[in-house]
Amino acid sequence: MDTKKKKLKISVDHNLEERTIKRIEVNAEVSGKKPVGKINFAELRAGGFIKQRQKDKFTVRLKCPGGNMTLDRLKTIVAATEKFGSGQLHLSTRQSMEILHVDYHNFGPLVDLLKEAGQDVASCGPRVRVPNACGGCEYNPNGITDTQKMANVVNEKFFGMRTNHKFKMSFSGCPHDCIHAASADLGLIGTVWPVWEEASCTGCTICASACTEGAIESHPETGKPIFDAEKCLYCDDCVRACPTSSWTAGKTGHSLRVGGHHGRHPVNSTIAARFLTDEEAEAAIGASIAWYQKAGEGKGRIRLGNLLMQEGQMESYMAALADAIGPEKLEENIEAPQKITIRR
């Protein structure tokens, strides 16, 4: 008699959220379309209406590209929250505002009120999400690139495009990366390549003091900088600190990081290109999404970073990127994104 216990294999269909779970009739546009008849919870979630634990109650997620919010929109959101919610707003980790405890019978009038101020509902599910961004160069003294401009470009041209899994983009104006662009599916970080001119240098050693990476050391006799490019983070600190403008910005642009994500099994992104112009960055974003859509066919729910870890996929992706922006600014001998080991 076989005494071995058989393992019961339970397969969980994680795409279940995209299929019919429960259907209700709503009186509002969902993902820009007016539903005909009843709509399931998955479609509602995809359109930014997220079912709560409480009966008939939903969280309504609002689009806030780059975390930017005008006072007029904010006043309308407050009014909508008081009228249709519980008077409570939640600020998500990706800069969206969420109105809590909204009865689904009130979706229509809620959306209509929000539209009066130009406020749209966001999205969830396997698609390009609302981008987030720091303040960038508009007012932040550390800002190198116009992150708010790029967040608006993504929101207008790529938001809502269907992908295998969620697709998150973040824009950081400098290598401080306060917005965590390095852990996004696609992250762009503002960078500067510093250039030194000896003729105007007085050997004051201020640049060496300003460089916290050890990329600049002062010559022991002249005080003039000795630059180690391998240690440079392209942060622009030396350029801003130099009193004689001996250090200047030789190249300014976005570093493109690809394949990061949080979650149960987080992945650290890899640098695919450096010093991209805004136009090149936009082209790289479009090419990345298109590649992900094509390479992900038939592979189910898989994040971009996990797809890039598969054999031959990193090379395929870089070839698509070269076609879109040329090979000149691409990283050589690039490694695939790496899993981050977290002790649970």
> Which fold does the domain 132-193+252-339 belong to in CATH?
Sulfite Reductase Hemoprotein; domain 1 (3.30.413)
Helix (H, G, I), strand (E, B) or coil at 30: strand
pLDDT of res. 342? 74
User: How far apart (Å, rounded) are the C-alpha atoms in residues 156 and 154?
Assistant: 5
Backbone torsions φ then ψ of 127, nearest 5 degrees: -165, 170
Q: Which CATH architecture has domain 21-115?
A: 2-Layer Sandwich (3.30)
Sign of CA dihedral 180, 267, 293, 290: positive
Backbone torsions φ then ψ of 175, nearest 5 degrees: -65, -5
Place of tokens 């929101």: 155
Which band of pLDDT confidence, cut at 50, 70 and 90, is reported for residue 21?
low
pLDDT of res. 13? 43
User: How far apart (Å, rounded) are the C-alpha atoms in residues 48 and 85?
Assistant: 15
Q: Considering only 23-32, 90-99, 115-124, which range has the smallest mean pLDDT?
A: 23-32
The pTM for the full model equals 0.89
pLDDT of res. 17? 45
Which band of pLDDT confidence, cut at 50, 70 and 90, is reported for residue 291?
very high
Residue 213 CB-half CA count within 13 A: 16
Query: What does the pLDDT look like over 111-164, one tens digit per residue?
Result: 999 999 999 999 888 999 999 999 999 999 999 999 999 999 999 999 999 999
Query: What does the pLDDT look like over 195-224, one tens digit per residue?
Result: 999 999 999 999 999 999 999 999 999 999
**Structural domain spans, the chain:** 21-115, 132-193+252-339
Helix (H, G, I), strand (E, B) or coil at 169: strand
E strands, 197-297, are 216-218, 225-227, 247-258, 267-268, 270-276
Q: How many CB atoms lie within 10 A of CB 203?
A: 14
> Would you give the DSSP letter of residue 19?
S
- Between the alpha carbon of residue 60 and those of residues 65, 96, 103, the distances in Å are 16, 10, 10
DSSP characters over 53-105: SSTTEEEEEE--GGG---HHHHHHHHHHHHHHS-S-EEE-TTS-EEEEEEEGG
pLDDT of res. 245? 97
pLDDT of res. 12? 43
